[in-house]
Structure 1
Amino acid sequence: MSEMNRKWYSGMTRTEDWWAVWLGSMMFLASIGSLWGLDLTGWMAKPGTWVWGAFSLDAALKPSGYENWHPFLSWLTTYLVFTSLTCLAAAAMKLDLKRFFAGWSILFVLTWVIWVIGQEAHFKVPFNEFEKYGLSWGLSLGGGFSYLLALSVGLIIGNFFKGTADFLMEAAKPEWFIKTAIVFLGIKIGIMSIEATGFITELVMTGVAATFVAYMLFWPIVYVLGRKVFRLSRDAAAVLSSGISICGVSAAIATAGAIRARPVLPVVVSILVVIFAMFELIILPGLYTAIAPNQPIVNGSALGLTVKTDGADAAAGAMLDELMRANAEANLGVVWKEGWILMASLTTKIWIDMFIGVWAFVLALVWVYKVERKAGQSRIGPMEIWHRFPKFVLGYLLVWFSYVMLASTGTETAEALNQTAAAVEGPMRNMMFMLTFVSIGVITDFSKLKGMGKLALLYAVALFGIIAPIAYGVAWIFHRGMMPPSL
């Protein structure tokens, strides 16, 4: 009953969801200082493109705004600011602060080393810039190589250096990092909304159809498959159906709580969600780029429907954005603006996420009044919708709409905002993406798939035989021919 009687403000200082809102909002408010002539975000470090054999710190690392600062001072300030904020959050969330600080520091340094390596010109620059950097060959993967490298290093640690992975586990929080990055992304979406209002409106509205598909099509198909073919119990089929059809770990946990499922079920389904998300993250961005290089928005939306965790979806969307833009510049002769493909993926996913609280409430009612029908069963109050609603979405929307309202007041205001907000929506957001990739790898142990039997088999069949094909078909119907703006 104590869980059911929580206040509306419960968890505001104790959950990753809320701390994503607080961290994202803090940096957004800092960026607004430009309206009074204050650059409060120019200390943020960012990596630059460099060439093997001609490495220089000034080329590989630089401040976002404070041009007179030494690169190392900018990086050290970045570390100190984010370490202070994340440790404050860790203390509020009752994490082991000493272990978090040590793990965070290692992850931070490792992430930046990987990020700088990933910016080497042979990995990054498109074919048409080879002459500029004196290259005779290159992979032309854009920023996508940094993400792939971060994920690879994380997976090596998580699967071959398990002692190290256990030590880092307290600080490896991919869901928190990616949700913070998505709040930062609200600024980028605000900029994009002003540039192409009609496109944004169309993309958001088609998210309604994606939500309908996820809840009204995927869920019942997987549930019936689990019950009739795999002979799962009602609670096992329901928890797995939510996990694979809606929003992964959050949906599995929310559903399990709503229907009072056995405690082991959300744990097992969460493990499956995370591990299979790694396969999707590794396979889908490259596959979609190869099979439909001229359908960027279709590919982005299909990812949002298919990948079932916020972290993996945002990470896969960022990787897809980089790979497709690099491919388009090299092979199609067009330069798409950064972020639009990622936005297609996130917009679809966020629409789906927004209604998990409502869906959990619906399932709770069905279980209480239809499936169980037990006398004296606790009543399910509407406040449960609020508690199960993903709070980082509020931060994302708040930052998005606030930026649009401020920038719409005049050209000078918009230019001032763009100057300092660039550090938040660019380097800060990308750093959180990089931390997410490393952390996802660290917490992923493929050996945990052993012994899961029917649940793992059902998950694989449903994901690759039902979810992925239908998702791509729906994305094709609603987004075919839509193109992001070009430079």
Structure 2
Amino acid sequence: MSTKSTFNEDKVALLIGSVIFLLALFKVGNLDLLGWVVKTGIWVDNPLKAWAPAAKGLMPGWASALVTYAVLTTILSCGIKLLGGNVGRFIGAFTVVFFVAFLCYMLGANAYIAASPNQIAKFGIPWAMGLSTEAGLIIALVTGILISNFAPGLADNLRDACRPELFVKIAIVIMGAELGVKAADAAGFAGHVIFRGLCAIVEAYLIYWAVVYYVARNYFKFNKEWAAPLASGISICGVSAAIATGAAIRSRPVVPIMVSSLVVVFTCIEMLVLPFVAQYFLAGEPMVAGGWMGLAVKSDGGAIASGQITESLILAKAAAAGVKWAPGWVLMVTTTVKIFIDVFIGVWSLLLAWLWTAKFDKSGGDRTMGWTDVWARFPRFVLGYLITFLILLFICLQSPNLHAIGKSLAGTLNGFRTIFFLLTFFTIGMVSNFRKLLEEGIGRLAIVYIVCLFGFIIWVGLFISWLFFHGMTPPLLN
């Protein structure tokens, strides 16, 4: 007789993410246990050159990819076992999912698609779309959608490995460590820039979230289960915030998945449009432009890529006019704003867990709800995210040597985060059958997204960035 598993995806994600993080920590003791993980870089004429292990020279790129597949399959199979799933079916399906998604990311890393304007000369190409290697995430999403809608039989056969929520929750736990290093980097920057960035995102949060939630509830008649993840996805940090919010309020899995699909699509549109708008209208306000990218573009990679493209465009335009600003500052503003936005995911999840427990879902009856009830609802993977963030921040602030080790450690973890986000986007596509999604209301959801994003979020973000960064410019080069 089988017994119901006491593990859920939150706990398994926390466990797997923590194991990967703890193995990475051995690098502080000069022992690299994860240097085999594959990383995909930009390539021009030979796609195999895109692959390389995190530890340079450890093994060929193709071998690194195979080792990564083998280890992740083993780790995730243990997680599936804890969840009470069929391990054999998972391994078979995951093998297909991993390599198809991996090939999608490799295609997106082609220089003509991924290279930024300042990398064109380096790769010897005449032009590039400048989408960064995260274009591979878009290709993975689209490929998954095509399979789900035009080959539903194949999608059903791969269903055992289509666990986007599990994948993204593991990625979020790992992402905390990277942000801890970035926050330590920010400690060395001009303090007033960082303070302005913090003020900007707090103000943006309070406006964005409330307005999106109000519009979704009152004008489009979505219930709370839909309105909250949508508000977080649009106003905070896209996929990560939507998943964390869905977990905090215990929404059905389809809710954050649908919101995440929209986030990815609209992030791509913003990346292609906003940097050129910023170059045209904000050429004299580069720091405003950088802050705007951080506040308006919802995914981490999309925002950073947009900040890099914007900086390249504006600095090139300024240089043509005889003004040579130091590089890195525009991107620093984008990154700083984005760091604070990401960190706030944990705080917001806790607040929403309390709010839903106390106000909307009093499953315990009329008794007074306490922090025990909030803790029962609080997403465990967000706890892992906060802990990994604080540990890496503490390590990096101890000494320059430990800071350098922390950066190297975060670079290795970034390989895992990228892979888990890749698996997330591909499997989101795989479960996005449009006929079923239309029945769930994704059409109305997309209209809310369009109205809120282009109706006020982009422009409020621009105003707030102007408010806090107006008049600031990067240092001039000698």
Residues 55-114 of structure 1, C-alpha deviations (whole Å, 9 max, x = no match): 274x32221115242323322221122111111111111222222212221121112222
- Corresponding position: 1:394 with 2:386: no
Letter in 1 for 2:305: E
2:148·2:155 contact (CA, 8 Å) conserved in 1? yes
CA shift, 1:219, in A, is 3.5
Larger CA deviation: 289-298 vs 16-25: 289-298
Question: Unaligned 5+ residue runs, structure 1?
Answer: 1-9, 231-235, 258-265, 305-315, 369-375
CA shift, 1:413, in A, is 2.6
2:455 matched to which residue of 1?
Answer: 469
CA shift, 1:442, in A, is 1.3
Letter in 2 for 1:92: L
Residues 249-302 of structure 1, C-alpha deviations (whole Å, 9 max, x = no match): 665676578xxxxxxxx5775675455445534434434444446533333334
SS at match of 1:46: strand
2:355 matched to which residue of 1?
Answer: 359
CA shift, 1:186, in A, is 1.8
Distance 1:275 1:400, change over 3 A: closer
2:12·2:82 contact (CA, 8 Å) conserved in 1? no
Letter in 1 for 2:295: S
Distance 1:215 1:359, change over 3 A: farther
* Alignment equivalent of 1:325, drawn from 293, 308, 312: 308
Distance 1:215 1:423, change over 3 A: closer
SS at match of 2:223: helix
2:224 matched to which residue of 1?
Answer: 238
Distance 1:243 1:38, change over 3 A: closer
1:186·1:396 contact (CA, 8 Å) conserved in 2? yes
Distance 1:450 1:196, change over 3 A: closer
Counterparts of residues 197-208 of structure 1 (less than 5 Å): 197=187, 198=191, 203-204=197-198, 206-208=200-202
Letter in 1 for 2:38: A
Q: Give the Cα–Cα distance (whole angstroms) in 2 for the partners of residues 254 and 408 of structure 1.
A: 31
2:20 matched to which residue of 1?
Answer: 27
- Corresponding position: 1:286 with 2:275: no
Letter in 2 for 1:299: M
* Alignment equivalent of 2:36, drawn from 43, 47, 69: 43
Give me the identity figure in percent.
23
- Corresponding position: 1:18 with 2:49: no
* Alignment equivalent of 2:130, drawn from 134, 137, 140: 140
- Corresponding position: 1:157 with 2:143: no
CA shift, 1:45, in A, is 1.5
* Alignment equivalent of 2:404, drawn from 392, 408, 415: 415
SS at match of 1:14: coil
Distance 1:46 1:251, change over 3 A: closer
1:261 matched to which residue of 2?
Answer: none
Residues 136-164 of structure 1, C-alpha deviations (whole Å, 9 max, x = no match): 33323222322222222222112222122
SS at match of 1:355: helix
* Alignment equivalent of 2:416, drawn from 406, 428, 437: 428
Q: Give the Cα–Cα distance (whole angstroms) in 1 for the partners of residues 406 and 27 of structure 2.
A: 6
Q: Give the Cα–Cα distance (whole angstroms) in 1 for the partners of residues 254 and 62 of structure 2.
A: 44
CA shift, 1:377, in A, is 4.5
Residues 432-474 of structure 1, C-alpha deviations (whole Å, 9 max, x = no match): 222222122111122224445xx66754554333466343454
- Corresponding position: 1:300 with 2:294: yes
Letter in 2 for 1:244: L
TM-score, normalised by the number of residues in structure 2: 0.78
CA shift, 1:26, in A, is 1.8
1:274·1:444 contact (CA, 8 Å) conserved in 2? no
Counterparts of residues 368-379 of structure 1 (less than 5 Å): 377=365, 379=367
Calculate the aligned-residue CA RMSD, in Å: 3.6
Letter in 2 for 1:73: A
Larger CA deviation: 181-190 vs 130-139: 130-139
1:246·1:353 contact (CA, 8 Å) conserved in 2? no
CA shift, 1:168, in A, is 2.2
Letter in 2 for 1:97: V
CA shift, 1:360, in A, is 0.7
SS at match of 2:24: helix
- Corresponding position: 1:223 with 2:212: no
SS at match of 2:127: coil
1:118·1:124 contact (CA, 8 Å) conserved in 2? yes
1:203·1:347 contact (CA, 8 Å) conserved in 2? no
SS at match of 1:69: coil
* Alignment equivalent of 2:69, drawn from 79, 88, 93: 79
Q: Give the Cα–Cα distance (whole angstroms) in 2 for the partners of residues 164 and 201 of structure 1.
A: 51
CA shift, 1:351, in A, is 4.0
Distance 1:484 1:80, change over 3 A: farther
1:20·1:392 contact (CA, 8 Å) conserved in 2? yes
Distance 1:457 1:158, change over 3 A: closer
SS at match of 2:80: helix
Q: Give the Cα–Cα distance (whole angstroms) in 2 for the partners of residues 89 and 166 of structure 1.
A: 21
TM-score, normalised by the number of residues in structure 1: 0.76
Q: Give the Cα–Cα distance (whole angstroms) in 2 for the partners of residues 168 and 101 of structure 1.
A: 10
Letter in 2 for 1:432: F
2:197·2:337 contact (CA, 8 Å) conserved in 1? no
Question: Unaligned 5+ residue runs, structure 2?
Answer: 234-241, 280-285, 317-326
2:171·2:416 contact (CA, 8 Å) conserved in 1? yes
